[in-house]
Amino acid sequence: MLKSEKNPLLIAMEEYLNAGLEMDLEKLETIYAPNFENIRFDTSGRTINITKEQFMQRFRNMNDQGKKLDSIDDVEFLTTTIYDNHGSVIMRRIKDGSPVLYNFVWIMKDGLPFSLVREFTFVEDLSYLINMIHKSD
């Protein structure tokens, strides 16, 4: 597992994850780029795109209901890479006994993470999320 001591991408990720834990909606609003999307996909090839507004609405709903996100104690940062004006952080977690893999893509500015523009999330099964979104439509 990577350490965040001097890696600006990992420092930004820790700030992002902590903002989620604290339900700091203002900070999350500034971290996400205006065109942020979370693209989720599963082993069956199903995909779903979640916009910044949809993501933020979920946080607002949770906050209004007094709910919190799960602990981040299981987070493993596997690797980071910087390319052109972007940086990626590959992260792994265990949810409901199954691994979930993430690629967080940051826009870099002056060599530092500036804004989170994409989150690619690989899960075993997306059917629960697809059903939940269709019920809310």
What pLDDT sits at residue 5?
A: 67
Residue closest to 37 by CA, chosen among 53, 26, 21: 53
Structural domain of 62: 8-136
pLDDT digits (tens, 9 = 90+) for 61-72: 988 988 888 788
Q: Tens-of-pLDDT digits for all 137 residues of the chain? A: 566 668 999 999 999 999 999 999 999 999 999 999 999 999 999 999 999 999 899 899 988 988 888 788 899 999 999 999 999 999 999 988 889 999 999 999 999 999 999 999 999 988 877 777 766 65
| CA distances for 8 relative to 60, 108, 136, angstroms | 28, 10, 38
Q: For the chain, what percent of residues have pLDDT higher than 90? A: 71
Q: Is 3 a member of any domain?
A: no
* Contact by Cβ (8 Å): 119, 103: yes
Number of domains in the chain: 1
Q: Is 68 a member of any domain?
A: yes
Q: Is 64 a member of any domain?
A: yes
Which CATH number characterizes residue 79's domain?
Answer: 3.10.450.50
Q: For the chain, what percent of residues have pLDDT higher than 70? A: 93
Q: Is 130 a member of any domain?
A: yes
pLDDT digits (tens, 9 = 90+) for 19-34: 999 999 999 999 999 9
Q: Is 1 a member of any domain?
A: no
Q: Is 2 a member of any domain?
A: no
What pLDDT sits at residue 56?
A: 93
Residue closest to 101 by CA, chosen among 75, 131, 71, 130: 75
